[in-house]
Structure 1
């Protein structure tokens, strides 16, 4: 997640609850689809925004998000829908 903003993150357990999946499935999704990050072997931080994009099947927005886009309409809309404030 670049740029990384801790304020948009939730725990792996919370993300699993949002998705209605097990924590092991969520961990696999986070790694495979770039939905979060783990620093120095610590706990996973999952982006609420990236998770919402993934669950909505919005591959275009997720690709833009991964490329660092935080200003296009498709990405900003996902921030609003996920209830996460977009920080400049």
Structure 2
């Protein structure tokens, strides 16, 4: 995915959706540096106050599932289509 600066990752910000890098790493079974890399490359998270990464648990699930279409929709601001809403339900959001 190219970063064109127009994505809606964690926008609007929802503390229930946002998780810390170490939590995301544990869920994904990878190192925290890998999660930071995924945040930058695949846009599954963003930096918030103080420059700390927060990861969208929804976007992480999409990435881990290999569901690029759902992630593209999510990054475009879609929160209601069946494909995206299913991930929110799965995350309990």
Q: TM-score, structure 2 length as denominator?
A: 0.83
Q: Deviations over 1:49-83 (max 9, x none)?
A: 00000000111100000000001000000111223
Structure 2's unaligned 5+ residue stretches are: 1-8
Size of the aligned set, in residue pairs, is 84
Q: Structure 1 regions of 5+ residues with no counterpart?
A: none
CA distance in 1, matches of 2:54, 2:13: 10
Q: Show the counterpart of 1:16.
A: 25
Report the RMSD for the aligned CA atoms in angstroms: 1.2
Give, in whole Å, the separation in 2 of the partners of 1:33 and 1:64: 13
Higher helix share: 1
DSSP-derived class of the 2:55 partner = strand
What TM-score do the two structures reach when normalised by structure 1? 0.88
1:81 is aligned to 90
